[in-house]
Chains A and B, each alone.
Chain A
Amino acid sequence: MSLQTDKRDFSERTLDGLGDSFMRNAVGSAQDSLKTRRLSAATTLGDWEQWRNVGQLIRQHTLQNLDYYLEQLADNVEKQGGHVYFAATKEEASSYIRDVVVRKQATKVVKSKSMVTEEIELNRVLIEAGCELIETDLGEYILQMDDWDPPSHIVAPALHKDRRQIQRVFSEKLGYTGDETPENLAGFARTVLRQKFLEAEVGITGCNFAIANLGAINLVTNEGNGDLTAAIPKTHIAVMGMERIVPTLEEMEVLDNLLCRSAVGQKLTSYITVMGPSAAGETDGPEEFHLVVVDNGRSDILGSEFNEALQCIRCGACLNVCPIYRHIGGHAYGSIYPGPIGAVITPLLGGYDDYKELPFASSLCGACTDVCPVKIPLHEQLIMHRQNIVQQRRTGAGDRLQMKAASRLLSSPALFGRSLRFAHSASRLMSKRGRIVRGPALIHGWIHARDLKQPVKQQDSFRAWMEKRKGGAEQ
């Protein structure tokens, strides 16, 4: 999988999402329960706002000094016998990893969940190189078994699937004969995957944070698959976006608390591990450790007006409060990064040509900004994207004309007032039961995914009501 998960038009993808009632229910209830859990885990920390301030301070400090900390990290990994590779592009990153795997003559590779490996299309590259590659995170494993169905949530990638679908996939692809209870499905996956861990020659993980002064990486998981991936195979390759770094364990600890609480409402997840190349005398863990630091467009964001997007710690909290994500679901974003943060970073990493619609998939309610544990002004960044898209004349000529007309109308109170007088009768033919159900251009675009009420009759309007009162608005 690459950054792009679906090449169809944004409108087609949203229609799919809007029509998938299971997915919409699943997303809605996941949002509700994760929101509540996040709130209670945040409250136990005491002054949550102060924790967010510290989180923001750490991320901003690290980004401002990124070259220094990356160099320190590389020196410390190398001191322990590990290898660090700096990849400017996704091709460089995946071909370096492929070369390591080929050199180790490995045919069996286990992987734990990692977004950046999706970004660099690592699975495709390794499968083409002849490897049996297994995703070991339960959600990712389900998606892989279902012919690499794309993830729909940053933290819960298989959120859009119900247990019956999973049972069907397991029975068709793996000969599973049990029932559809999550316990039995997960127990079956445990047995299958345990064998894969024991057989694999190479384990590949992502990296929640790299710790510069220690020369190690930090993994935050609940299942333990990341630990097994790094502990059993003789070679461990960790892949990190270049911004995922902290100076020391002290900063990591703050960010892990923010991450666990924001992502799943836990104080800490079951397994938080700091790991690097095995030390002398230790008999498991990697004999060979590679850390691949990936740029792939991130340096273009650094120092730009979108710099703060690099503060993201991928907790998914912004998805869990987003009304748009709730209705259209993760696949509609057509990116491995869905939701508000996806709408901000996908166009930055993948360009406006493919993703110019995403910044408009927002109500600008600001819920994402309020919830973000590292204080990224997400909705403001979406507005900046919109401004860029308009300034670069990437909206269609028809759209521009309509917006011009709308702007003339909306900036003149007199003109606006006059047109309201006719709005009700003019919209009669397009409306049904008080809602506009068809219409041209802008109206069509709006009602495609939202409700639009028919304007009220002139005598029932707010303006008429005001005019009747002394001191009412004059036109």
Chain B
Amino acid sequence: MTVSSNKEAFLNTIASKLGRERKTHVQRPVIQDLIPDSYGQLTNDDLVEILKEQCFFIHTQVIESNPEILQRTLDDLIEANGGGIVMTSGDSRFEGYGLAFPEAFVWEEAAGREANIKRAESANTAIIFADCALAESGTVVVESRPDQGRSLHFLPAHYIAVIERQRLVLRSTQAAAAFNRRIQAGEPVGSSINFISGPSNSADIEMKLVVGVHGPLRATYVLI
């Protein structure tokens, strides 16, 4: 049986179980207006406070910095993580903020799959710029791109995300709506969209929380 004939039979079964012909058009219910707003109007400073409070609960350090001292902040953090190899994304903002690290790999298309994964695996610290951040859940949002692979966020032992304050929004609701607007407008989005809220963890052994199971052992957000 070919895949497409499988599909037709499969979907026809569904339609017949629902007691109707196959649907060719559907009107999505509008849900945005139905979602309760429990926060009201918030300033950017409010969002920073909400983020900081939430990060306390998700074992994530928040460092307030600014573009002038960002290099020093990151250097200090790398040292606090025990030094070693750093791997950054190829985000143009590294150059824009004049950042440079000795002993650093950059995720790049030209290096190819094996090398990028190997570099990420050998790196002690990953540094990336958040595409946006969600205050309520302490989440950074990043898209995969040729200069920012998926495993960069998971393989290095320590994870540093730089968050520009103006990219802070309240919740996942705003982030999902923004992505959906892009998708509906036919704009490309990364093949992987990651919502990352702190370091990896597990409570699989006697429900005791253990931080750093497969992914990073420690996560730090640097606010600028």
Q: Across the interface, do B215 and A282 meet the contact criterion of CB distance under 8 Å? A: no
On whether the beta carbons of A190 and B17 are closer than 8 Å, the reply is: no
Give the interface segment out of B67-75, B81-89, B112-120.
B112-120
**Complex formed: what's the CA distance from A190 to B121 in Å?**
13
> How far is B212's CA from A283's CA once the two chains are assembled, in angstroms?
25
The A-contacting residues of B in range 25-58, CB under 8 angstroms, are 25-26, 28-29, 31-32, 34-38, 54, 58
- Cβ contacts under 8 Å, B35 to chain A: 50-51, 54, 254
Question: Looking across the interface, which residue of chain B has its beta carbon closest to that of A164?
Answer: B206
A85 vs B12: C-alpha distance in the bound complex, in angstroms? 15
Contact of B111 among A57, A193, A256, A283 (CB under 8 A): A283
The answer to whether B145 has its CB under 8 Å from any CB of chain A is yes
Chain B residues near A197 (CB-CB < 8 A): 214
Q: In whole Å, how far is B146's beta carbon from the nearest beta carbon of chain A?
A: 3
The segment from B97-105, B124-132, B161-169, B197-205 found at the interface with A is B197-205
Does residue B80 face the partner (Cβ distance < 8 Å to A)? no
Question: In the complex, which residues of chain B have a beta carbon less than 8 angstroms from the beta carbon of A83?
Answer: 3
Q: Is A272 an interface residue when CB atoms closer than 8 A count as contact?
A: yes
Q: How many residues of A contact B (CB 8 A)?
A: 106
Q: Across the two chains, which residue of chain A brings its CB closest to B149? A: A284
Contact across chains for B36 and A51 when beta carbons are under 8 A apart = yes
Residues of B within 8 A of A270 (CB): 58, 196-201, 215
A29 close to B (CB within 8 Å): yes
Question: Given A186-B202, A224-B214, A282-B145, is A46 in contact with B183 using a C-beta cutoff of 8 Å?
Answer: no
Q: Which residue of B lies closest to A136 (CB)?
A: B214
Q: How far is the CA of A252 from the CA of B31 in the complex (A)?
A: 11
Could you say which of A47, A142, A166, A222 has the most chain B C-beta atoms within 10 Å of its C-beta? A222
Contact of B172 (CB < 8 Å), options: A161, A223, A268: A268
- A232 near B: Cβ within 8 Å? yes
Q: Indicate if the CB atoms of B183 and A281 lie closer than 8 Å.
A: no
Q: For residue B184, give the distance in angstroms from its CB to the closest CB of chain A.
A: 7
| Cβ of A274 to closest chain B Cβ, rounded Å | 4
- Decide if A20 is an interface residue (CB 8 Å cutoff): no
Total interface residues in chain B, CB < 8 Å = 87
Say whether, besides A54-B34, A80-B191, A156-B203, A279 and B144 are in contact (CB < 8 Å): yes
CA distance A225 to B213 in the complex (A): 8
Query: A274 touching B193 by the CB < 8 A rule?
Result: yes
- In the bound complex, residues from chain A placing their C-beta under 8 Å from that of B214 are 136, 190, 193-194, 197, 223-225, 228
Asked whether any CB of chain B lies closer than 8 Å to the CB of A247, the reply is yes
A257 interface hit (Cβ, 8 Å): yes
Cβ of B192 within 8 Å of any chain A Cβ, yes or no, is yes
Interface status of B153 (Cβ within 8 A of chain A): yes
State which of B14, B197, B210 has its C-beta within 8 Å of the C-beta of A67.
B14
Q: How far is the CB of A289 from chain B (nearest CB, A)?
A: 9
A247 to B27, CA, bound (A): 10
Nearest opposing residue in chain A for B1, CB measure: A92
Q: Which residues of A contact B154 (CB under 8 A)?
A: 224, 227-228, 231
Smallest CB-CB separation from A284: which chain B residue? B149
Residues of B contacting A159 in the complex (Cβ-Cβ under 8 angstroms): 207
Q: Which residue of A lies closest to B198 (CB)?
A: A270
The answer on a CB contact under 8 Å between A47 and B36 is yes
Which single residue of chain A is at the shortest CB-CB distance from B113? A283
Q: A58-B31, A295-B13 given as contacts; is B191 within 8 A of A158 (CB)?
A: no
Considering residues B10, B145, B196, which has the most beta carbons from chain A within 10 angstroms of its beta carbon? B10
Question: Which B residues touch A314, using CB under 8 A?
Answer: none
> Distance (Å) between the CB of B173 and the closest chain A CB?
6
Q: Which residue of B lies closest to A46 (CB)?
A: B38
| Also in contact, A271 and B200, with CB within 8 A (given A136-B214, A223-B215, A224-B154) | yes
CA distance A299 to B15 in the complex (A): 9
- What is the chain B residue whose CB lies nearest that of A86? B10
Q: Does B19 contact A (CB under 8 A)?
A: yes
Tell me which residues across on chain B come within 8 A of A248, comparing CB atoms: 28, 176, 180, 183-184
B183 contact set on A, CB distance < 8 A? 213-214, 248-249
Kindly list the 10 A-B residue pairs having the minimum CB-CB distance in the complex, ordered from nearest: A46-B38, A224-B215, A281-B146, A253-B176, A139-B204, A86-B10, A231-B150, A182-B205, A68-B23, A272-B195
Binding site for B on A (CB under 8 A): 26, 29-30, 33, 44-47, 50-51, 53-54, 57-58, 61, 64-71, 74, 80, 83-88, 136-139, 142, 156-159, 161-163, 166, 182-183, 185-187, 189-190, 193-194, 197-198, 213-214, 216, 222-225, 227-228, 230-232, 234, 242, 247-254, 256-257, 264, 266-279, 281-285, 293, 295, 299-300, 302-304
Given pairs A67-B18, A88-B13, 5 additional interface contacts (CB within 8 A): A225-B214, A231-B151, A242-B14, A266-B137, A272-B172
A-B contact list, 14 entries, CB within 8 Å:
A47-B36, A54-B35, A70-B14, A74-B7, A83-B3, A136-B214, A142-B205, A157-B204, A231-B151, A231-B154, A249-B180, A270-B200, A275-B191, A284-B117
